[in-house]
């Protein structure tokens, strides 16, 4: 035992401090990576918001001039369904698939003059 103490003159405090420091660093890295993973999801990407804006644009075009969407019907990634829910209320469903095959479905309800 005496021989071991003479050969290894490393103070125990430095080893203990190193282990504690590495533990703190690894916990901080874990927290940082989990926050990064939670923030940068597909639903927070610019592509997702671009697709949402495209759907809203199609809906407003449909309200202004429904025949202005005739050129959009050639697009296989776009499906527009109209359904009368009640007299005077129409439900419009827009299904749009973007270039990353992310499918977004949105429903709009509009009031019509038809009774």
> What are the tens digits of pLDDT across the range 30-57?
999 999 888 777 666 777 777 778 777 8
Question: SS3 for the chain, per residue?
Answer: CHHHHHHCCCCHHHHHHHHHHHHHHHHHHHHHHHHHHHHCCHHHCHHHHHHHHHHHHHHHHHHHCHHHHCHHHHCCCEEEEEEEEECCEEEEEEEEECCCCCEEEEEEEEECCCC
> What are the tens digits of pLDDT across the range 65-112?
655 555 555 667 777 788 888 888 888 888 877 776 777 788 888 777
pTM to 2 decimal places? 0.48
């Amino acid at each position: 035992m005496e021989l071991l103490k003479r050969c290894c003159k490393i103070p125990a405090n430095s080893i203990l401090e190193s282990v504690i420091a590495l533990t703190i660093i690894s916990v901080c890295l874990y927290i940082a990576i989990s926050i990064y993973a939670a923030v940068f999801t597909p639903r927070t990407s610019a592509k997702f918001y671009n697709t949402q804006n495209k759907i809203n644009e199609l809906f407003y075009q449909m309200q202004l001039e429904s025949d202005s969407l005739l050129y959009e019907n050639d697009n296989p990634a776009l499906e527009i369904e109209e359904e009368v829910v009640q007299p005077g209320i129409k439900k419009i469903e827009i299904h749009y698939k973007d270039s990353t095959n992310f499918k977004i479905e949105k429903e709009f309800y509009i009031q019509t003059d038809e009774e």
